Structure 1
Amino acid sequence: MAITTTQMNMERQIPLRLLTPLATLIVTGFSAGQSALARDVAPSARAVPQLPEVSVIGTREDHTLQHLQSPVLSGALGTRSKLETPFSSTVIISADIKERQVNKLGDVFMTDASVSDNSAAYGAWANYLTVRGLPLDWQNSFRIDGKPFMSYATTLPYEQFERVDLLKGATGFMYGFGSPGGLVNYVTKKPTNGPVRDVTVGYQSKNLWHESVDLGGRTGDNDRFGYRLNATHQEGTLYNNSTLNRNSVSLALDARLTDRLTWDFQSIYQDIKASDTEPTIYTGLLTGHNLPSAVRNDNGRLVGDGTHFNNAFRFYSTGLKYKISPDWTLSTSYSQSSTQTRRNEEVVQFTDELGNYNDIRSDYGEAYQFNFWQAMLQGRVQTGAIQHDIVAGASQQSQKNDYAGNGFYQQIGTGTLSMQNTNTYQSVGTIHSLGMFRGAEIAQKAIFASDTVQLSDRWSILGGLRYTNYDQKAFGPGGAQTSSYNKNGVLTPTAALMYKLMPQTMAYASYIESLEQGSSVGSRYANHGAQLDPIKSRQYEIGIKSVQERLAATAALFRVERKTEYPNVANEIVQDGLSVYQGAEVGASMRLGSYWDIGGEVMLLNATYEKGADNIGNRVVGAPKVVATTQVSYRVPQIPGLKLMANAKYTSSTMLRPSNDVEMDSYAVFNVGASYETTVNGYDTTLRLAAHNITNQRYWTYQYADYIKASDPRSISLTATAQF
């Protein structure tokens, strides 16, 4: 008799911890009955009982908070578990997103000590993060199912994703051009084998309401066709008195065309309209060495009348996967994504530490588009006693950036933090009246290959190489080309050595390089419109990961060397010198008894400018020395279904400028929440509560060199989800 276990990602299947004892009991009882019968039969007539193979299908319960056994889509490395990836990573599953009631990307990674939150919920700063002190590149550091999209000013519908992965550090081999800080990959919800019928309604202070639906399942002969539909509507007033109207729909389809060939399709459609949005705060004109006293983003002292923000996002992807043999798979996919943003934005320019400022209006528009194609071959081959896991492929990516030629950027008045902002500016018209022009075209063509060699049960090595042809051009409003950069044969290698101390414990040492796109210099700088050259970085990392029944832990030491890009004394963005980021990350989580889950992480970072004409020895901007997080949850035994949660994050002081003459204070944020699973009129129902910044702290957060953000005030979110 053999009992085999097949793990499937089906949330509504019976857990293995219940199925396994049940299957064992049935099989044991059946065997006992056969033994009793055999005692009554003559020895010559006895037959050895042969039972059919029993397959038990279910979901392995993850008792830890770090999700080390979750898959991580690693580009040219294929899909591996977080435990088996020789680089640091973070996985945030949909259950985490629902419990935390996230509003912005920083909320998603609240419990990750390597991530500093520079994001805003709605506006141009929607997806700004620093990872290990390095800013993510909003042009190349964000993916949906491994496919590129322009993240600038786009807050995605978090409730419509199965999970969000963060690959920390350089990802040049895995995904091509991108920041050495890391890469965020959103994984869409896919069709399920069992039916999904979820409806959610929710409320967020001040008076913001939302409704969403999640429908999925399979149909046709032998369940050949699968579907997953998510839709969300959100409308009302936010805690800072801004208004929001958001509508988003995502659809995923698949078809099992044959027993070897499958087809898939994903799409996301979202429109966001917001008014009275929070401003951009610029400190480049600040005199003295101190910021004004911090305020919360909940009053009118920073926002005048007439501001608004509209963003339209579209994403489409389709692909085929063919199972050549049990060990080899060939896949190909194509995607297109586009964003169009129209914004009348307030730019507050602090002039002194008393809180006086120049009030600037930026009436602007921009549009971006990605087209991406990739083909990949994955398989396994045995050469003697050595096993090779091989990934090889090719990709082609084109990017188009359109900017407003007739945008408005001027001072409309002055203000102070001690008084209401009464300045008003109305928009000049639609995005088309702004004189949109093609500002940049960027193309990448690449081939890549990697081989993970299993030398023994414990030792393995990884080698990979990406070969990229890169071309970028910048254009002026009249269509004339203003700059270009072209380089063929750009090599980005990776290598890693891995050793399994135990079956669920891996130590590793890895090296990887990356090349990131140079900045498109914004209108606030003297060299506005320049397209800077790509920046090369190198990363070294050693670490260990372990997951046991009730305990998970990770630790890593890293060093990243990156060419420096910063504004100089002439207010020009320049590339000069070298920034070095060295640090350590340690994290652990465990289940205590039957009711408690606790976890925590800490990052220690030393980031300095080590070469160049300016700022040698200074701390790198936006890189805190210490970030620490903790989280705890408690299942209340007296009230079955009730779970209480809390988390906190501490960020130490951060330098605002490369000159280090302005230092931002440290701060801590505390959140609490609760969920209650019950039955209402025969339907499984989950009620959730989340409270952010429960102490209502005032603090400034770093966004970019010379840019800061006011802290979000205390807010409350309530949701109810029913399954039909």
Structure 2
Amino acid sequence: MPARADAPAPRVRPLAALIRLSLLTGCPLGGAAMTHAGELPTLPAVTVSAPTLAATDTRGQQLDMPFANGALGSRSQLDTPFSTTIVNGENLDDRQVTKLGDVFALDASVTDNSNANSAWNSYLTVRGVPLDWQRGFRINGMPYVGYGNTLPYEQLAQVELLKGSAAFMYGFAAPGGAINYVTKKAPAPGQPLLASIDAGYRSAHLWGQHLDLGGRVGPEDRFGYRVNLTHEEGKPANAVGMNRNAASLGLEARITHALTWTFDGIYQDRNAWGQTPTFATYAIQGKQLPGAVTGRGGRFAGPDQHLYTNLQLYTTGLRYALSPDWTLSTRYSFSKQWRNRNESSFQLKDAAGNYDDYRYYGIQGHQFNYVEAMAEGRFRTGPVGHQIVAGVSGQKQRNAYSRGTGRFFLLGTGNLNEPNTNVFYTPDGLVMYRSSDIEQKAAFVSDTMQLTERWALLAGVRYTNFSQHYYHRGGATKSVYSKSGVMSPTAALMFKPHPGTTLYASYVESLEPGTQVSDPSLANFGQQLDPIRSRQYEVGAKTDRDHWTGTAALFRLERGAQYRQGDYMAQDGLEVYQGAELDGYTRFGQWDVKASAMYLHSRYARGAANNGHRVAGAPQLVLAGAVGYRVPFVPGLRLGVDGKYTGSVKLRPANDIALGGYTVFNAGATYHTRLAGRDITLRAVLANLTNKRFWGFQYADYMQPADPRAISLNAKITY
């Protein structure tokens, strides 16, 4: 359990923490050790050299990398007939990401609505559609509730994003896309022991340490393991304090040459206090907003405000190779998320920056049980080759909230030009009640038919029985929705004019649960709205050549609309999104360049209100790019700068208030070398290089200030 919010922030001793971690793990901090009487021995001779530049640059699109496609099985990005993005662990490390928006900062299809230290940290918009924070997130392909959780990015091998509808692959979900976090795995048989330790510093004074250890043991290297441990504490740039402890474990046992058992687990306690509040605008009269304010921690929130979170997810599975062409697999996962919130929402009243300070406090929890069984295989019928994936799955999600009528109340008033001095500490004794249960049982099958050497046809369908139960605080059932036999079909036609190029046209239908109303100010707060249907059409191209890669897509999505009407969250009409996206990467000489662009036209249609208006939060134009330079006279040194322009968005469906466009630049440097026989990596990143201030969209009627300029430094030793 976390400490009380009114407890003083722990004193940070980064060197002592690093020494403790070294003693616990047995990894030395350097080549020296203490002698008797505390005397330092003579240091060994030091040799410095730079490693050879890797043949494959991990900053590219990596279209040949495997991508977890749920009911489509695992296939490369190049062979997936939908728009996808993979960001690998080295890229995450080089850019020193701290929030979900940072992960996809170089993808123009993604708009950042997140904040690492508040409950809104999983808010992200893809092609103008918000991700489903209840069903749009996975770890190692297994579902969990993403709301309020910032993952330990240093423990990830890669992060995968499927853009658009994911209903066929994963079941009921909003059509904004699906994110899959892949934790680091045991090395393959025959590979050497992996061992590294790194220490870092972030503004304002946040210190962290991370250990990564993996290897194989036993006859023929049959047993593999990977352990990651992280500790971080101090003061982030946009909060008063933070303390984070995380651990992940990956195990693999090759029981026989055909049967493999796996286990993956991740555990994290992440406690932040004094986090930046959110800013509500529905009470503003007129079209003027106050000027943008700083997002630096301490100005608008003190240590009484907090977000305490706990995340656990455990997965075990068996995979059996019947033959070189056929495999059977089964997996089970259990996940549990818990958060204790005490956060302000500033309800702005006018352009002068006057506001009412509404405080929310409470405890929220979620549990997921998920099981699946799949068969994957290949066979031929005459001249046609078939790649079959078939399976069944079942999942149960339970949501719980704390009781109490005072959890959202007017604490005081204030003005954005002055620091906020309102204080409220969460009382003890909050009691949880079961809010809702959501169950899905599904069967799915897909067949990728290789018609000729160049042409392939994909057909698939998911059959789902869905039910959701919403409960009164007293425990009695308030409402029930169930739907059996829901079909989520998909189809795609693929053409390969070149082995490294895929052209495709795809279609998918989906059904998503209605949103669970998460705004405490609404009269139907906590209610689960009825499911809504959507349809997606996409035409695209992907190519992977010797010195460059590129992707392009045209898309159209029709989705049921949900937005605030008065004091209620309502469903009304459609949201229509159509646009184009381009992404490319190339490397020449000492330079590597990445560019990304999205143009989007969105509108509300067929509703009682807002017809013809742009969808709230959907930008018309987003541009992103990055340039890296490997300094030839300093082997191992790479300098880089990246930037992202996000066009203006409408703050609410009525379209009466707009947030202006903005551009954020970041700069960084990475240096690889060898010192005393060890690989050394030094990293430095300066985020928000120009300290740009702006109002960023969070969700309809809500906005947040930009994160302030911040520096990150990290040193890593690989043994």
Scaled by the length of structure 2, what TM-score is found?
0.91
User: 1:348 & 1:100 partners in 2: Cα distance?
Assistant: 32
In structure 2, what residue type is equivalent to 1:399?
Answer: Q
Task: Quote how far apart the aligned CAs of 1:353 are.
Answer: 1.0
In structure 1, what residue type is equivalent to 2:504?
Answer: Y
Task: Pick the aligned partner of 2:259 from 255, 261, 275.
Answer: 261
1:167 equivalent in alignment to 2:162: yes
Task: Pick the aligned partner of 2:92 from 70, 74, 97.
Answer: 97
Aligned residues of 2:240 and 2:302 also touching (Cα < 8 A): no
Task: Pick the aligned partner of 2:677 from 658, 682, 688.
Answer: 682
User: 2:242 & 2:59 partners in 1: Cα distance?
Assistant: 36
Task: Quote how far apart the aligned CAs of 1:299 are.
Answer: 5.1
Task: Quote how far apart the aligned CAs of 1:285 are.
Answer: 0.9
In structure 1, what residue type is equivalent to 2:438?
Answer: I
Q: Residue 24 of structure 1 corresponds to which residue in structure 2?
A: none
Q: Residue 541 of structure 1 corresponds to which residue in structure 2?
A: 538
Task: Quote how far apart the aligned CAs of 1:145 are.
Answer: 1.1
Task: Quote how far apart the aligned CAs of 1:587 are.
Answer: 1.2
Q: Residue 435 of structure 2 corresponds to which residue in structure 1?
A: 439
Matches within 5 A, 1:495-514: 495-514=491-510
Summarize deviations over 1:139-176 as a string: whole Å, max 9, x none.
Answer: 00000111100111011101111000000000110000
In structure 1, what residue type is equivalent to 2:111?
Answer: S
In structure 1, what residue type is equivalent to 2:573?
Answer: G
Summarize deviations over 1:312-348 as a string: whole Å, max 9, x none.
Answer: 1111000000000110000000000011100111111
1:423 equivalent in alignment to 2:418: no
In structure 2, what residue type is equivalent to 1:201?
Answer: A
Task: Pick the aligned partner of 2:446 from 443, 450, 456.
Answer: 450
Matches within 5 A, 1:75-86: 75-86=70-81
Aligned residues of 1:63 and 1:591 also touching (Cα < 8 A): no
In structure 2, what residue type is equivalent to 1:264?
Answer: T
In structure 1, what residue type is equivalent to 2:622?
Answer: V
Provide the alpha-carbon RMSD of the alignment: 1.1
Aligned residues of 1:64 and 1:551 also touching (Cα < 8 A): no
Q: Residue 375 of structure 1 corresponds to which residue in structure 2?
A: 373
Task: Pick the aligned partner of 2:150 from 143, 146, 155.
Answer: 155
Which segment drifts farther, 199-208 or 272-281? 272-281
User: 1:321 & 1:458 partners in 2: Cα distance?
Assistant: 31
Secondary structure of the structure 2 residue equivalent to 1:588:
strand
1:477 equivalent in alignment to 2:476: no
Matches within 5 A, 1:684-723: 684-723=679-718
Aligned residues of 1:143 and 1:185 also touching (Cα < 8 A): yes
Q: Residue 291 of structure 1 corresponds to which residue in structure 2?
A: 289
Summarize deviations over 1:240-262 as a string: whole Å, max 9, x none.
Answer: 35100000000000100001000
1:560 equivalent in alignment to 2:557: yes
Aligned residues of 2:239 and 2:273 also touching (Cα < 8 A): no
1:272 equivalent in alignment to 2:270: yes
Task: Quote how far apart the aligned CAs of 1:444 are.
Answer: 0.2
In structure 2, what residue type is equivalent to 1:80?
Answer: R
Task: Pick the aligned partner of 1:400 from 398, 401, 406.
Answer: 398
Matches within 5 A, 1:291-370: 291-298=289-296, 300-304=298-302, 306-370=304-368
Q: Residue 485 of structure 2 corresponds to which residue in structure 1?
A: 489
User: 2:204 & 2:631 partners in 1: Cα distance?
Assistant: 30
Matches within 5 A, 1:630-645: 630-645=625-640
Aligned residues of 2:579 and 2:598 also touching (Cα < 8 A): yes
* Unmatched segments (≥5 aa) in structure 1: 1-58
Q: Residue 206 of structure 1 corresponds to which residue in structure 2?
A: 204
Q: Residue 657 of structure 1 corresponds to which residue in structure 2?
A: 652
User: 1:622 & 1:452 partners in 2: Cα distance?
Assistant: 36
User: 2:354 & 2:681 partners in 1: Cα distance?
Assistant: 48
**Percent identity of equivalent pairs:** 50
User: 1:238 & 1:528 partners in 2: Cα distance?
Assistant: 31
Task: Quote how far apart the aligned CAs of 1:440 are.
Answer: 0.3
Secondary structure of the structure 2 residue equivalent to 1:340:
strand
User: 2:258 & 2:371 partners in 1: Cα distance?
Assistant: 22
Which segment drifts farther, 269-278 or 248-257? 269-278
Aligned residues of 2:77 and 2:84 also touching (Cα < 8 A): yes
User: 1:63 & 1:426 partners in 2: Cα distance?
Assistant: 46
Aligned residues of 1:206 and 1:241 also touching (Cα < 8 A): no
Task: Quote how far apart the aligned CAs of 1:305 are.
Answer: 5.0
Q: CA 1:241–1:703 in structure 2 vs 1: closer, same or farther (change >3 Å)? A: closer
Summarize deviations over 1:394-430 as a string: whole Å, max 9, x none.
Answer: 000000000011252111110001111111111112x
Aligned residues of 1:63 and 1:550 also touching (Cα < 8 A): no
Q: Residue 127 of structure 2 corresponds to which residue in structure 1?
A: 132
User: 1:199 & 1:377 partners in 2: Cα distance?
Assistant: 39
Summarize deviations over 1:243-293 as a string: whole Å, max 9, x none.
Answer: 000000000001000010000000001001111111121111112112110
Task: Quote how far apart the aligned CAs of 1:510 are.
Answer: 0.2
User: 1:206 & 1:435 partners in 2: Cα distance?
Assistant: 36
Aligned residues of 1:471 and 1:486 also touching (Cα < 8 A): yes
Aligned residues of 1:125 and 1:152 also touching (Cα < 8 A): yes
Q: Residue 615 of structure 1 corresponds to which residue in structure 2?
A: 610
In structure 1, what residue type is equivalent to 2:431?
Answer: G
Aligned residues of 1:367 and 1:401 also touching (Cα < 8 A): yes
Matches within 5 A, 1:580-599: 580-593=576-589, 595-599=590-594
Task: Quote how far apart the aligned CAs of 1:304 are.
Answer: 4.4
Summarize deviations over 1:468-498 as a string: whole Å, max 9, x none.
Answer: 0001000011001111100100000000000
Aligned residues of 2:58 and 2:91 also touching (Cα < 8 A): no
Scaled by the length of structure 1, what TM-score is found?
0.90
In structure 2, what residue type is equivalent to 1:81?
Answer: S
User: 1:408 & 1:527 partners in 2: Cα distance?
Assistant: 15
Task: Quote how far apart the aligned CAs of 1:217 are.
Answer: 0.8
In structure 1, what residue type is equivalent to 2:528?
Answer: Q
Task: Quote how far apart the aligned CAs of 1:60 are.
Answer: 7.2
Summarize deviations over 1:26-81 as a string: whole Å, max 9, x none.
Answer: xxxxxxxxxxxxxxxxxxxxxxxxxxxxxxxxx97247621111111000000111
User: 1:530 & 1:591 partners in 2: Cα distance?
Assistant: 51
Secondary structure of the structure 1 residue equivalent to 2:79:
coil
Task: Quote how far apart the aligned CAs of 1:529 are.
Answer: 3.4
User: 1:448 & 1:60 partners in 2: Cα distance?
Assistant: 40
Task: Quote how far apart the aligned CAs of 1:632 are.
Answer: 1.0
User: 1:474 & 1:467 partners in 2: Cα distance?
Assistant: 23
User: 1:516 & 1:201 partners in 2: Cα distance?
Assistant: 42
Summarize deviations over 1:620-667 as a string: whole Å, max 9, x none.
Answer: 001000000001111111000000111100000000110000000100
Aligned residues of 2:117 and 2:239 also touching (Cα < 8 A): no
Task: Pick the aligned partner of 1:250 from 248, 259, 262.
Answer: 248
Q: CA 1:64–1:436 in structure 2 vs 1: closer, same or farther (change >3 Å)? A: closer
Q: Residue 223 of structure 1 corresponds to which residue in structure 2?
A: 221
Secondary structure of the structure 2 residue equivalent to 1:573:
strand
User: 1:241 & 1:172 partners in 2: Cα distance?
Assistant: 37
User: 2:307 & 2:574 partners in 1: Cα distance?
Assistant: 37
Secondary structure of the structure 2 residue equivalent to 1:401:
strand
* Unmatched segments (≥5 aa) in structure 2: 1-53
Matches within 5 A, 1:44-55: none
Secondary structure of the structure 2 residue equivalent to 1:174:
helix
Aligned residues of 1:145 and 1:185 also touching (Cα < 8 A): yes
Task: Quote how far apart the aligned CAs of 1:365 are.
Answer: 0.7
Q: CA 1:187–1:241 in structure 2 vs 1: closer, same or farther (change >3 Å)? A: closer
Aligned residues of 2:84 and 2:160 also touching (Cα < 8 A): yes
1:526 equivalent in alignment to 2:523: yes
Q: Residue 110 of structure 1 corresponds to which residue in structure 2?
A: 105
Q: CA 1:64–1:721 in structure 2 vs 1: closer, same or farther (change >3 Å)? A: closer
Task: Pick the aligned partner of 1:65 from 60, 63, 80.
Answer: 60
In structure 2, what residue type is equivalent to 1:556?
Answer: A
In structure 1, what residue type is equivalent to 2:160?
Answer: D
Q: Residue 34 of structure 1 corresponds to which residue in structure 2?
A: none
